[in-house]
Structure 1
């Protein structure tokens, strides 16, 4: 892992087409709102899908409070097929004050069918 970044650096990296921004929250949380241009690879699925990052030069991991994204960044950095730079967004999405993109109603309906009814808790 190559460290942690703050909000201004994340903003700059969002404008860079070479940067891959990975939101590691569960799909339902991602659909409720995410950083535009980010992709969802839940932390629990990351171990199985780490080869997705072969050939990437720059990856930023995101999570709610900047803790789990450090674990995700370390996992990606440890993968032998990854030779780029990977950083974690240190403040976490709870501190993100930039634009938020929401999932579509169609995606929400699809996920409800996949995940079952929403929990009353």
Structure 2
């Protein structure tokens, strides 16, 4: 079962400087338009091809548009990757934007 983290929790982990892989599985244009600080862009298709060979951090957080595709991606990493903990960001980038806006004030 993949854990889901709130955008606020992800923001706190970024602010603390916690070490984890932050993976954005949205499309190229969406990533170019904006993404979480430190996020790496890996499409679902790329993930399917590289999940086994990649050296994952102990902790991985995945996000997408609204939190659905990221659950699938997190399950893929959990099953085939070497990470100890994998989570999806609940609500995806849509839920992140208000959190980011509130911390920018």
TM-score higher than 0.5 here? Answer: yes
Q: CA RMSD in A?
A: 1.6
Structure-2-length-normalised TM-score: 0.83
5+ long unaligned stretches in structure 1: 100-121
Corresponding position of 2:6: 6
Structure-1-length-normalised TM-score: 0.73
Q: Secondary structure at the match of 1:66?
A: coil
Corresponding position of 1:94: 94
* 1:38-57 paired onto structure 2 within 5 Å: 38-50=39-51, 51-52=53-54, 54-57=55-58
**d(CA) in 2 for partners of 1:84, 1:4:** 15
**Structure whose alpha-carbon radius of gyration is higher:** 1
Question: How many pairs were matched up?
Answer: 97
| Residue 20 of structure 1, CA deviation | 1.1
Flag the structure with higher helix content: 2
The answer to whether the aligner puts 1:24 opposite 2:25 as a matched pair is: yes
* 1:62-101 paired onto structure 2 within 5 Å: 62-79=63-80, 81-96=81-96, 97=98, 98=100
Task: List structure 1 runs of 4+ shifted beyond 2 angstroms.
Answer: none
| Residue 83 of structure 1, CA deviation | 3.7
Q: Deviations over 1:53-73 (max 9, x none)?
A: x24111000100000000000
5+ long unaligned stretches in structure 2: none
